[in-house]
Amino acid sequence: MEKTLFVSDIHLSYLKPEITKYFLGFLKTLAGQAQYLYILGDLFDYWVGDEEIKKPGASAIIKSLKEVSENGTDIFFLHGNRDFLLGEKFADAAGLKIINEETPVNLYDNHYLVMHGDTLCTDDVDYQKFRTKVHDKNWQNCFLAKPIEERHQFARYARATSEKNKAVKNAEIMDVNNSTVCNMFRKYNFRTLIHGHTHRPAHHTLTIDGVLCNRYVLPDWDAGGGYLQCDPTGCQIIFL
Ligand code: LP5
Ligand code: MN
């Protein structure tokens, strides 16, 4: 049967070889049997530039993604807050297509909107300020011009600061803002939103302007992993 798989927040890192192993297994078996695979951000724990494609950790993933795409699964990727610097060199090597941060998708006579999910967390004002800064093209060009080891140092510092901040942040702030979600449904006039980032996997139903809508939140792979499968009969979150 035709099917499409959605994953996010895999957070691949050489420090977590077991996640790499699970994800490679997922690509080889389940993803290889799908028509389309959508990776909705945070494939890597962090990404500091496409020079990294030659590093052993990344090259095993790239090789496997390329095999899946050459065997007939179309792969799409959108940026997360950890890998917003992943670029076209990676995309070429892995045989995937980088799509917009808000992408409407038509599948099996249904309209979906896919996103990473970080832009829905508008109560997290500190994060949104940080995001605006690092999404600035000048900032990115400056950052990418630095030596790779210096970029790693920045990324490690940013990761440690983020973990420290999260430990004292109110959990509510780190979830989506309901009116931001409603406005997203209105902006694109669709029925189903699929995103990750919050690490709160769930299927939410909500009524917006009298219309029943769905919001699927994808599981992260630090907590075991999983994916959303959509086919002509509907969508289902599957935990691994
Ligand atoms: O990622 P996660 O789940 O821990 O938390 C996110 C938000 N944090 C981030 C930061 C990333 O984890 C950092 C890794 C990105 C590396 C990319 C490449 C290199 C860039 C180097 C930049 C210097 O996205 C966190 C949210 C949480 O999701 C829930 O939604 O709360 O946001 C924060 O913690 C906000 C902090 O205020 C920002 C933390 C980084 C501060 C580093 C300062 C360095 C100077 C930057 C100058 C532009
Ligand atoms: Mn994220």
CATH number for the domain harbouring residue 93: 3.60.21.10
Using a 10 angstrom Cβ sphere, with 0-12 exposed, 13-18 middle and 19 or more buried, the burial of residue 44 is: buried
The reply to whether ligand 1 has any atom less than 6 angstroms from the CB of 152 is no
Mean pLDDT in residue range 223-238: 95
Range of the domain at 26: 4-239
Q: How far is the CA of 182 from the centre of ligand 2 (A)?
A: 20
**46 within ligand 1 shell (Cβ under 6 A):** yes
Q: Is the pLDDT score of 57 beyond 90?
A: no
Alpha-helical runs (H) found in the chain:
17-28, 56-70, 88-94, 125-134, 137-144, 148-168, 178-188
- At residue 6, does pLDDT exceed 80? yes
- Structural domains of the chain, count: 1
pLDDT class for 71, splitting at 50, 70, 90?
Answer: very high
Give yes or no for residue 82 having a pLDDT over 90. yes
- Using DSSP's 3-state secondary structure scheme, residue 7 falls into strand
Q: pLDDT band at residue 56, thresholds of 50, 70 and 90?
A: confident
Beta bridge partners of 57: none
pLDDT tier, 10 (very low <50, low <70, confident <90, very high otherwise): very high
Share of the chain above pLDDT 70, in %: 100
pLDDT tens-digit profile of 96-139? 999 999 999 999 999 999 999 999 999 999 999 999 999 999 99
Amino acid at 76: F
Q: Which residues make Cβ contacts (< 8 Å) with residue 80, sequence separation at least 6?
A: 8, 9, 40, 41, 42, 43, 116, 118, 196, 197
Nearest ligand atom owner, CA of 177: 1
**Distance in angstroms (rounded) separating the CA atoms of residues 82 and 14:** 15
Query: What's the predicted TM-score (pTM) here?
Result: 0.98
pLDDT above 80 for 204: yes
At residue 81, the pLDDT reads 98
- Nearest-ligand number for the alpha carbon of 82: 1
Sheet strands side by side (includes 202-208) = 103-107, 110-114, 192-195, 211-217, 202-208
Task: Tell how far the Cα of 108 is from the centroid of ligand 2, in angstroms.
Answer: 28
11 alpha carbon to ligand 2 midpoint, in Å? 9
